[in-house]
Structure 1
Amino acid sequence: MRIRHTLPLSAAVLAVLMSGCADEQGGSGPKESAAASTQPSKPSASSGGTRRPWEPDDALRRAEQALKSAADDGTEAELVDSGTAYLGSGLKKSFRASGDTPYRLEITCDTDGAEELTLTLSRGADEQAYGVGCGDREADHFNLPAGKPFTAHVEAEQNGTGLIAWRLTTIAPGDVDGCDDDVDGCED
């Protein structure tokens, strides 16, 4: 009986998974069951300046917690869509934003090394770029009016390791906090 060494194979499979396997819309990504790592963890920067081990399953849990923290602001939100994408694939997702209730996009990232990614929200020729903090305890959120389709885009980081998690919800018009259309932007 021959003993096979599976650690190199497991490491290769993990490398392929983390390099990016998103669908053509950029909406699928790491799944908790596929995120287990057999490699030793590497340190990663967090927003607090401390170092913590970066592992895919832990990163997904942290990202989900950041999304949950953003949703715990007292608003009555209804989930429309959500997903994850690998940093190596980036994110390019279009939303119809139909109906008459405002939308809120919550987005976060958890990466090995990058402290911030650039999210570009666009609608037709209009676009706005925003920095999204990676490893933050609360996801960033952006308001978008109903009836106006928009696209969320984060460039792929070919040499990056990490994930992007997002959630789109509808909220009551009275729960819109700050700018009511983050694609057009608002003057302070």
Structure 2
Amino acid sequence: MRLRPPHHFVPLGAATALLLSGLLSGLLSGCADSAQPETADRRSASKTPEERKTPAPGSGKPWEPDDAMQRAERALDAYEEDGSAAKLSDSGSAHLADGVHRTFQAPGKRWYRLDLTCDTSGERELTLTLTRGSAEQAYGIGCGDPEADQFNVPPGAPFTVRVDGVRTGSGLVLWRLNTVARDDVDGCDDDIEGCDG
């Protein structure tokens, strides 16, 4: 067996020493660059196109799908403590470009309450159309509102919910269809037939 000396030095040539010196200098200057505060131009240039999103209306912040989903869910949850003992019948979401076109069955004796909201990067209002038979009503839905819009539909024949898609925008539409006791119906009894005053 051959023993190695405890310290084995390899002589460096001038070219190798110069190369190591240049690498060390580059590493140190990279650290100095990263210590400098980022300017708005540098931050923007370092982001991918997906990260450079348009601001949410009125917020000055970029519109992000995950944040939008959370805001929309909070708007739907705003009525959880209204004392109506609502029972969930159906729920869903749709991309703004696709819109919503759903027909719901409405059997039983309990009223149906549609809670609907939207959150988008450019549209402030969408149009909701409720249809049952020959009766039809259109409503404006404010996007980004802290509380979802609510619509009452009495039990009976199936009814259709339509929100036309917007191809030029980014966003989502969320809805929940609940049933409530007749005594818990707030506002108009039938938002498809409509109510005066």
- Tell whether 2:84 aligns with 1:75: yes
Aligned residue pair count: 150
- Tell whether 2:168 aligns with 1:159: yes
1:62-120, Cα deviation, whole Å (9 max, x unpaired): 10010000333221100000000000001001000111100100000000011110000
- Tell whether 2:61 aligns with 1:52: yes
Alignment of 1:2-81 (within 5 A): 38-45=50-57, 49-81=58-90
Q: What residue in structure 1 maps to residue 112 of structure 2?
A: 103
Identity of aligned residues (%): 54
Kindly state the Cα deviation for residue 125 of structure 1 after the two structures are TM-superposed: 1.5
Q: What residue in structure 2 maps to residue 93 of structure 1?
A: 102
Amino acid at match of 1:111: T
Q: What residue in structure 2 maps to residue 116 of structure 1?
A: 125
Q: What residue in structure 2 maps to residue 27 of structure 1?
A: none
Amino acid at match of 1:169: N
Q: What residue in structure 1 maps to residue 196 of structure 2?
A: 187
1:159-186, Cα deviation, whole Å (9 max, x unpaired): 1110000000000111101111100000
Instruction: Give the whole-Å Cα distance in 2 for the aligned partners of 1:182 and 1:94.
Output: 16
**Which consecutive aligned stretches of 4+ in structure 1 deviate over 4 angstroms post-superposition?**
none
Q: What residue in structure 1 maps to residue 27 of structure 2?
A: none
* CA RMSD of superposed structures (Å): 1.5
SS at match of 1:182: coil
- Structure 1: give runs of 5+ residues left out of the alignment: 1-9, 12-37
Where is the helix percentage greater, Structure 1 or Structure 2?
2
1:126-159, Cα deviation, whole Å (9 max, x unpaired): 1000010100000000000012211000111011
Instruction: Give the whole-Å Cα distance in 2 for the aligned partners of 1:141 and 1:115.
Output: 18
Q: What residue in structure 2 maps to residue 32 of structure 1?
A: none
TM-score scaled by length of structure 1: 0.76
TM-score scaled by length of structure 2: 0.73
Amino acid at match of 1:43: P
